[in-house]
Amino acid sequence: MTAKPYLIGHYEPVADEITASGLTVEGALPPELNGRLVRNGHNPKPGVTPAHWFKGSGMVHGIRLRDGRAEWYRNRWVRTPALDGAPYMTERGPDLTASTAGTHVIEHAGRLLALCEANFPFELTRDLDTVGAYDFRGKLRSAMTAHPKADPVTGDLHFFGSSPFPPYLIYYVADAGGEITHSAEIPGATASLKHDFAITARHVVFVEGTVTFAPGEHSGIPYGWDDEQPARIGVMPRGRADLIRWFPVEPGNMLHAANAYEDARGRIVVEGPTVDREGFRLSWNWWVGAPGRGSEPVSRSRTRRWVIDPAAGTVDERTVDDLAVEFPTVNDAFLGAEHRYQYAVSFPDENGFGGYGVVKYDRATGGRRVREVGDARLPSEAVFVPAAGSAGEDDGYLLTVVSDLKQDASRLLVLNAADLGRVAAVHLPRRVTAGIHGSWIPDET
């Protein structure tokens, strides 16, 4: 039997949990990097072959930096019922604790949370051990998105729960202390897949693409492309679900939003990598391990921009870059505000054009810079960390874990966010499995 592509190459799971201290550093780590880079991904236990990449159990990898030293690396499975084979569906309905917990990991109000959009979050300790499912003291009544948004001004955490069954979409706000202060069912939402969303200073933006609930899909992830599902963007004034407006857009599917903001004319600008029907098919065939797929994924995900004019009731949309990218990030201080720079990871496209690298976009000039990471090397999502006393939007560092198949090893690469030049590299004690999302958690949190 041919191995699934998400179990080989960069995606081959590691078989155990380790802890290593006193890591080797090349170059000089900036002294302000005091904290932990924590990254999540799918890593099924030995002998387990999930039917879909997203069904693999979650494993978090952490790297502790302090005072110019790399103090430790450790990796831990998130110990949820699903890790030991518990089913998501039971006789009483869905078990929101039966999570892979393998998509993202964030910190809010002193809690470290491993996330998967179909379930409750799971709380972890500072050393990445599992505490258990967390439901915001009983106020979370649905699954929680893997892409919550922390308002840099108020400290509030905005998030949603999405379901293929009514209610299709529930929106939540938790204050800076971690208490849910607002929740509302969103009228007009459908069973369309909603993986990510965006916030602006005054609005919440939901994106419904052409991928929706597909009960005939047997991979364990019941979604598929459906030409009958209209693509739309929902714009909601914060706290006013009754005032949401849905704007039709061209067919497509956006997994990750780079950012959104209101421009000087009151229009709402949203940006993120998007796939068409063929692009979704290419990704889905890799995710489910369809026959004939190679060990490395290819992408047809192009950066797209929507400019929504609520006064005129119109949407201007266009592809702003043709490089195949995913995992867009920004300086989080600009979340919900107009930003100049954004970052992403580049992938080879279906024609073999391009390769793996870290990308920086300058939205003011339309330029892009790509730092290729080298043959048989794959970078993780680039996480922005501001420099001490930073004065400019790109005054800081990008942290990315680069796995190297030829060396069977990984390094944490610290790049200058201004020019993508290398600042330092930390040698990790093992090859880190390619994953999905993560966070920098400074010591002061």
Which helix (H) or strand (E) element contains residue 224? Answer: strand 223-225
Q: What residue spans of 247-376 are helical by DSSP H?
A: 277-287
How does pLDDT run across 118-167, given as a tens digit for each residue?
999 999 999 999 999 999 999 999 999 999 999 999 999 999 999 999 99
Estimate to the nearest angstrom the gap between the alpha carbon of 255 and the chain centroid.
Answer: 8
Give residue 3's pLDDT band: very low, low, confident or very high (50, 70, 90).
confident
- Residue 222's contacts (CB-CB under 8 Å, 6 or more residues apart) are 164, 213, 214, 215
End-to-end CA distance of the chain: 47
Conformation bin of residue 408: beta by default, left when phi > 0, alpha when psi is -120 to 50: left
- What tens digit of pLDDT does each residue of 393-445 get? 999 999 999 999 999 999 999 999 999 999 999 999 999 999 999 999 999 86
**What element of type H or E holds 171?**
strand 169-174
pLDDT at 47 over 80: yes
290-311 as b/e: b if 16+ CB within 10 A: eeebebbbbbbbbbbbbbbeee
Kindly list the structural domains of the chain, giving each domain's residue range(s) and its CATH number in brackets, ordered by start: 5-442 (2.120.10.30)
Position 146: which residue type?
Answer: A
pTM for this predicted structure: 0.96
How far apart, in whole angstroms, are the C-alpha atoms of residue 29 and residue 61? 19
Instruction: Dump pLDDT digits (tens) for 287-345.
Output: 999 876 556 777 889 999 999 999 999 999 999 999 999 999 999 999 999 999 999 99
